[in-house]
Structure 1
Amino acid sequence: MKKSLLALAAVGAFASAAQAQSSVTVYGILDMGLVGGNNTATQGGAYNTTTGPTKTTGLGIAQSAESTSRLGFKGNEDLGGGTSAVFTMEVAFAPSATTTATSQTPFYYTRQAFVGVKKNGVGSLLAGTQNTTIYDAVLTSDPSGVNNMGGNLVTLGAIGPQGQAGTSTGGSASQYGLANNSAYNTRVENALQFKSDTFSGFGARAMVVAYNANSTDTTQGGAAAGVGGQNNVNGYGLGLDYNWNKLNVTANVQQFNAVSNANLSNTQAVLFGSSATAVSSLASPGVNVKDAGQYYAANYDFGILKAFYQYVNRKGTQANDANYYTKYSANQIGVNSYVTPAIQVWASAAIGKYQAQGAFTTSGAPTYIPGSTNLNGFQLGSNYWLSKRTNLYAIYGQMAQSNQAMTSATGPTSAYNMNNYAVGVRHTF
């Protein structure tokens, strides 16, 4: 009898353990290579007469040219009935930096950190720091695999010791619209997101954001008085994907708002995710801005190659003055092909428009609103796969902004040209 009870207890314990099985996966990427580039920034007119263009050239060992180096943990626990608990914790890190972080090479930062539940046949509900709706779509619809090199006008980047031209007198890359994260914000904090399973080829994603303490004060007070009005960060994202045989289509919109009554009428709007880091974007909440974006893309697999089309549009409007804004848009086409099972190549070309923020007086009255300037870029790249997890790569890209007056209709014009190249090795695990 005792043996029977012990056997039943053992079977029950085993069944309970089987029902609550869990697994954790450790994954990551290490990417290092020889990276270089040349940048030229100019403000034209009298500036060029006295000092000439600002030029920078660099070549050296650098990190994360093809993929941002990272370390992550993801797991799930079976809760029974087709339901499971899931989590992801992923940090980016700089293999060429020490534990002393700098603005250009932070030793590490959070890329994703979320937890949630998944129901088979329905989808996942996730909470925490996550990729934005647009970034999730770009990751599956970009011909270059979303690398960090220059030339791609949807996913802008410029890795290498040359940096971004004109960080002082000649202006900055952000002024020219070709800085990292100009086209879209990559991730946000304090997000709640639902990702559906696929039904008849359709999948949907919906996100809401509420950053820390959102509040509305009723005490009287005007702008910059510190009381009265809203004080919050919030937002949303919506995405719809469709897959049919070899065709993939995605449509996405998102908007993130940072509102504070403490801001003066001429407080500059700062886009969400704006960052000077050369590795990737941080999950920044933005400042005094309504940051709205759209992304539409399609690709078709012809067998010998996959063809891509992408369109991105972004407008950052000052939260307390709709006349103060910056705009970015780009159209990009590309191809990606495996020439042999071990050799992969891609190419992309793009044109775009950028409008910088205008100049304002202390009372918030616009003194000059710049017009749109033209952008162009292209990128060529290849991978040689040594194994399923290790590849050698070579990437070359160019992008440029045409002349534009930034401060007045008769003032000096600004222009920016850059090229970026790299050869390296990437290992995933």
Structure 2
Amino acid sequence: MKKSLVIASILGAATGVAHAESSVTLYGIIGTSINFNTNSGGHQLYNLTAGPLQGSRFGFRGSEDLGGGYAATFTLENGYDPTSGKLGQGGLIFGRQAFVGLSSNYGTVTLGRQYDALVDNVGLLATGDQWGGYLQAHAGDVDNFNNTYRTNNTVKYAFKSNGLLIAGTYSFGNVAGNFSQNQIWSLGASYTSGNLSLGVGYLNARNPNISLFGNSTSGTPSAATSNVANSNTRIYSGYSSANTYQVIGAGAAYTIGLATLGATYSNVKFMALGSSSGPNPSNYHGTAAFNNVEVNFKYQLTPALVLGTAYTYTDGSSVNGNAGAKYHQVGVGADYNLSKRTDVYIVGVYQKASGTDSTNHPAVAQITGLAASTTNHQAIASVGIRHKF
């Protein structure tokens, strides 16, 4: 249960100025799972990991009524690994979210480390953000629907009304003399009415190896470190020299009784390969592209139990003689609520790869969040527990 702490009297006593009502909420999630991986670097692996359904976190969310329909708002959200206690997101203390802003009837403007508009409007329609967790994200989360990467230095505008959400973000590159270097921007819209949900979104990141893939670190990614591939998946790490990363995404879901049918699509491009943003051992140039199609189904068998299944196809394009790779992925899952705050679950995912991956080698399977297989197939079963507070 979320705990609300009224702090207006404390602020008033400290400053001697009358304040409108303010509140701060402490919230969080902790989850772990036992996994069986058929091929992790060539070996079977049994291990305990942070639960895949949602990243473990704790955070503070607050607001202050400023009067006249205006309010100040902030969020500080930490990610952590409950199996070891270490910080997530590369050691950042508030690596999931950290922003402050103002809201009114005209929308909300926030500034800081935030989610992009593609995540907000399309990501929630994909299985990875529902019962499947990061294991069911599209190959390597190449389209970022599962929110593997946040954006730093971001100004965000969002407007919500009667099931409609419109959002846009702009992230400053912070490079003197070059306004466009490292900049990121996104746009998105979604609409929910009755049984139908729709979403569209667009994300554009310049120098993505540094600005997007490299921003989960307590250091400062820069051109001096661009010889390192900051993505850790063979699915697209070989395209780290791209000058621009672009994603166009769309999704829909429709509920019929206890069943929900859904689908998402994304087109991902790594454009202007060969820039100084990252390593380019295969001497790529031009554009590498991925098309991702997901169809999913979930069924609310009882008020406490939901069952789900999904299929994802990822088609990588040819680039400079590399014929590209294809990934077929199937997932199943079940989630049972023991209470309003605690649930247990099981998720199973199988992936098969073919073709040539971004490293210019025969493609191997690599389910999101796992070490690569040494063959073209990989499977994992995860049984876990999650508690929300």
TM-score, scaled to structure 2: 0.76
Is contact 1:19-1:80 (8 Å) kept? no
* Equivalent position SS for 2:119: helix
Match status 1:77 vs 2:26: no
Q: Per the alignment, do residues 30 and 98 of structure 1 end up closer, same or farther by CA in structure 2, a change over 3 Å counting?
A: closer
User: Separation in 2 of the partners of 1:302 and 1:268?
Assistant: 50
Tell me the residue number matched to 2:253.
Answer: 299
User: Separation in 2 of the partners of 1:420 and 1:398?
Assistant: 7
Matches within 5 A, 1:82-161: 82-99=69-86, 110-120=95-105, 122-146=106-130, 147-150=132-135, 152=136, 155-156=137-138
User: Separation in 1 of the partners of 2:154 and 2:119?
Assistant: 14
> Which residue of 196, 210, 217 corresponds with 2:159?
196
Q: How far 1:143 sits from its partner (Å)?
A: 3.4
Larger Rg: 1
Tell me the residue number matched to 1:274.
Answer: 231
> Which residue of 324, 332, 341 corresponds with 1:389?
341
User: Separation in 1 of the partners of 2:324 and 2:241?
Assistant: 23
Tell me the residue number matched to 1:370.
Answer: 322
Q: Per the alignment, do residues 388 and 248 of structure 1 end up closer, same or farther by CA in structure 2, a change over 3 Å counting?
A: same
Is contact 1:269-1:317 (8 Å) kept? no
Is contact 2:80-2:88 (8 Å) kept? no
User: Separation in 2 of the partners of 1:86 and 1:187?
Assistant: 19
Is contact 2:122-2:200 (8 Å) kept? no
Q: Per the alignment, do residues 63 and 347 of structure 1 end up closer, same or farther by CA in structure 2, a change over 3 Å counting?
A: same
Q: How far 1:403 sits from its partner (Å)?
A: 3.1
Tell me the residue number matched to 1:226.
Answer: none
User: Separation in 2 of the partners of 1:206 and 1:75?
Assistant: 22
Q: How far 1:81 sits from its partner (Å)?
A: 1.1
Query: RMSD value over aligned CA atoms?
Result: 3.3
Is contact 2:69-2:104 (8 Å) kept? yes
Tell me the residue number matched to 2:30.
Answer: 30
Is contact 1:129-1:189 (8 Å) kept? yes
Is contact 1:205-1:239 (8 Å) kept? yes
- Amino acid in structure 2 at the alignment position of 1:191: T
Is contact 1:93-1:107 (8 Å) kept? no
User: Separation in 2 of the partners of 1:371 and 1:269?
Assistant: 24
Matches within 5 A, 1:338-353: 338-353=300-315
User: Separation in 1 of the partners of 2:46 and 2:274?
Assistant: 44
Deviates more, 1:58-67 or 1:76-85: 58-67
Tell me the residue number matched to 2:47.
Answer: 60
Is contact 1:269-1:316 (8 Å) kept? no
Q: Note the alpha carbon deviations across 1:175-225, whole angstroms, 9 max, x for none.
A: xxx33x3222631101111001225x4321111110323424xxxxxxxxx
Q: How far 1:288 sits from its partner (Å)?
A: 5.4
**5+ unaligned residues in a row in structure 2: which ranges?**
1-11, 211-221, 234-239, 276-283, 365-375
Is contact 2:126-2:294 (8 Å) kept? no
**5+ unaligned residues in a row in structure 1: which ranges?**
1-12, 41-53, 157-177, 217-229, 277-285, 359-367
Deviates more, 1:369-378 or 1:16-25: 16-25
- Amino acid in structure 1 at the alignment position of 2:174: N
Is contact 2:32-2:48 (8 Å) kept? yes
Tell me the residue number matched to 1:244.
Answer: 193
Q: How far 1:395 sits from its partner (Å)?
A: 0.7
User: Separation in 2 of the partners of 1:193 and 1:149?
Assistant: 25
User: Separation in 2 of the partners of 1:84 and 1:76?
Assistant: 6
User: Separation in 1 of the partners of 2:380 and 2:52?
Assistant: 10
Tell me the residue number matched to 2:377.
Answer: 417
Match status 1:209 vs 2:171: yes
Q: Note the alpha carbon deviations across 1:247-290, whole angstroms, 9 max, x for none.
A: 11111111011299x979xx8796xx7357xxxxxxxxx86520
Q: Per the alignment, do residues 232 and 75 of structure 1 end up closer, same or farther by CA in structure 2, a change over 3 Å counting?
A: same
* Equivalent position SS for 1:110: coil
User: Separation in 1 of the partners of 2:357 and 2:347?
Assistant: 32
User: Separation in 2 of the partners of 1:389 and 1:97?
Assistant: 23
Q: Per the alignment, do residues 21 and 381 of structure 1 end up closer, same or farther by CA in structure 2, a change over 3 Å counting?
A: same
User: Separation in 2 of the partners of 1:310 and 1:424?
Assistant: 26
Q: Per the alignment, do residues 294 and 394 of structure 1 end up closer, same or farther by CA in structure 2, a change over 3 Å counting?
A: same
Q: Note the alpha carbon deviations across 1:71-101, whole angstroms, 9 max, x for none.
A: 11111100011110011111110111255x7
Per chain length, whose mean CA-contact separation is higher, i.e. which structure has more relative contact order (CA < 8 Å, sep 6+)? 1
- Amino acid in structure 1 at the alignment position of 2:327: L
Is contact 2:127-2:133 (8 Å) kept? no
- Amino acid in structure 1 at the alignment position of 2:25: T
Number of equivalenced pairs: 334
User: Separation in 1 of the partners of 2:359 and 2:100?
Assistant: 47
Tell me the residue number matched to 1:162.
Answer: none
- Amino acid in structure 2 at the alignment position of 1:86: T
TM-score, scaled to structure 1: 0.69
